[in-house]
Structure 1
Amino acid sequence: MRRYGSAVLLLLMGGAVLRISLFSELYLRYVQPALRPYLVISGVLLMLLGSVAAVRGMRQGEEEEGHDHPQGHAHGGPRIAWLLTLPALALLLFPPPALGSYSASREEAQRAAQGVGTFSALPAGNPLDISVAQYSSRAIYDTGHSLKGRTLRLTGFVTHGSHGTWYVTRLLVTCCAADATISKVEIHGDEADGAPQTDSWVTVTGVWIPKGKLGTDGAWPPVLKATTVTQVKEPADPYDKR
């Protein structure tokens, strides 16, 4: 059986990669959409390599059947190598979820380093759908106050702070989940009473409330006065866009 170890590992890993990238959209929990073709190609290559390794193992077994071997002679690596199948099986059978409130609580947003300035005008629309990252950037850095007087709609997952505060939160990835950074907006107003459950997804509609001096820690986190809070399903792509 040991001669098939490498084949089994390659086939399991290839199957797991194809499961999340070719046959579903689970890969969006871990990487950007643009990386999907590379995942599919990698999965196919792993399956091909595993098939080749399996065929070679079968041929090796047939060749050894006609030869005598000393007692106690064994082929293959240590049995502990089979533990390498566990990550592949986990990805194949129980894909880990996208990053959530735990990751958000451990990630410090980088704020004042970029400085302040005038942002471009927002598109027409009332309410206007805007990403949590865009709202945060404009609330903290925009000297033109482009959020003023607009009704805005944000979607994200819920995180909680101290003294009953809660936030609409989104993680932004450049390449994959390993480089995720956080954007969050503090929710105020009567509709904010009775905070939703941590990690639940909500769409919040409301208006911007200025806070602190632009470009400083006093402006973080930005605030939205909510007029409606609606629970929604987690989107297929849970990460934010710039």
Structure 2
Amino acid sequence: MNRQAQAVVLLLFGGAIVKAASTDLYLRYVKEGLRPFLLLTGAFLVATALFTLWYEYRPRPDRQDAHAHHEPGVGWLLLLPVIALLLVAPPALGAFTAGQAGTLTAAAESDYGPLPEGDPVPVGLLDYASRSIYDDARSLAGRRVQLTGFLSAGPDGGPMLARIVVSCCAADGRPIKIGLTGGPAVDVPSGTWIQVTGRHSTRRAKDPVNQADIAYLEVEQWQPITPPKQQYE
């Protein structure tokens, strides 16, 4: 591939990054706080590609016949994955990932503060699991909580609420799973996003993938929702 072709690939790749970071599309790949870095990176790649094209095609008195040498055309096939990235965006990690990977082992802390005011109080799945498993649910006692995630099948076929936790990007994503018990039956397809209100359950289970503890929630009510803008936790 000649330098002009490399510049075109770089231009399209930088443009794809800028396009994704200019919308909510980038949230399928990285955490929300990385948007400025993506914009800067994409803009730098685009600028580099444009400068390279200008340098290659600018008039020069010593330029040799442009048709004297021909580069293999197969190098242009490298454009295909870049164009695919521009036209087709894969969905965020979801129920399939949750079914294949073991639940994230919640980090133990020495002190869990009280939950914020509210009834029910919105709580992240990782926070709920940590308080349930490592704090013996002391900070959850007597409180109604509201959890948001997508439905996933549990080891016994029962419903579980799950969400993908990322440290930086989707490549390091791991699921956190919360079992659902009692209350009205959750009868929507796997992968459907729902909002669940309930109270802590003393029930526990082991994830068959990695043998980590899975906390449970006693369901009082639930409803399907539109997937949130930020699907990762």
Which structure 2 residues correspond to residues 86-235 of structure 1 after superposition, within 5 A? 86-111=80-105, 114=107, 117-143=110-136, 145-194=138-187, 196-212=188-204, 220-235=213-228
Q: Contact 1:158–1:198 at 8 Å: present in 2 too? A: yes
CA spacing shift, 1:190–1:232, aligned 2, 3 Å:
same
Distance 1:193 1:44, change over 3 A: closer
**Residue 238 (structure 1) aligns with:** 231
Q: Which whole-Å CA distance do the structure 2 matches of 1:31 and 1:100 have between them?
A: 14
**Hey, what does 1:46 align to over in structure 2?**
45
**Equivalent-residue separation in structure 2 for 1:144 and 1:161 (angstroms):** 21
**Which segments of 5 or more consecutive residues in structure 1 lack a partner in the other structure?**
none
Distance 1:147 1:68 in 2: 75
Q: What is the aligned partner in structure 2 of residue 13 from structure 1?
A: 13
Shift of 1:52: 1.4
Cα contact 2:108–2:130 (8 A) shared by 1: no
- TM-score, scaled relative to structure 1: 0.84
Contact 2:183-2:221 within 8 A present in 1 as well = no
Q: 3-state DSSP class of the match of 2:167?
A: coil
> % of aligned pairs identical?
35
* Structure 1 runs of 4+ with >4 Å offset: 114-118
For the 8 Å contact 1:187–1:226, the answer to whether it is kept is yes
Cα distance in 2, alignment partners of residues 229 and 144 from structure 1: 21
Letter in 1 for 2:203: K
SS in 2 for 1:226: strand
In the alignment, the residues of structure 1 paired with residue 158 and residue 96 of structure 2 have an alpha-carbon distance, to the nearest angstrom, of 16
2:57 maps to which residue?
A: 58
Question: For residues 67-78 of structure 1, what are the structure 2 equivalents within 5 Å?
Answer: 69=68, 73-74=69-70, 76=71, 78=72
Distance 1:51 1:20 in 2: 20
Matched residues in 2 for 1:27 and 1:160: separation?
28
Root-mean-square deviation (CA, aligned residues, Å) is 2.6
Cα distance change of structure 1 residues 4 and 163 upon mapping to structure 2, 3 Å threshold:
same
Q: Give the total of aligned pairs.
A: 228
TM-score, length-scaled by structure 2: 0.87
Gaps of 5+ in 2: none
Shift of 1:150: 0.9
Superposed displacement of residue 115, structure 1: 5.2
Taking the aligned partners of 1:180 and 1:190, their CA distance within structure 2 comes to 30
Structure 2 Cα separation of the partners of residues 13 and 218 of structure 1: 41
Change (3 A) 1:210 1:55: same
Q: Distance in 2 between matches of 1:152 and 1:228?
A: 11
> What one-letter code is carried by the residue in structure 2 that aligns with 1:83?
L
Kindly provide the CA deviation profile for residues 196-228 of structure 1, in whole angstroms up to 9, marking residues without a partner as x: 111111101111101359xxx988211111111
1:4 matched residue in structure 2:
4
* Rounded Cα–Cα distance in structure 2 between residues aligned with 1:60 and 1:85: 27
Shift of 1:148: 1.6
Q: Are the equivalent residues in 2 in contact too, given 1:117–1:144 (CA < 8 A)?
A: no
Partners in 2 of 1:218 and 1:128 — Cα distance? 29
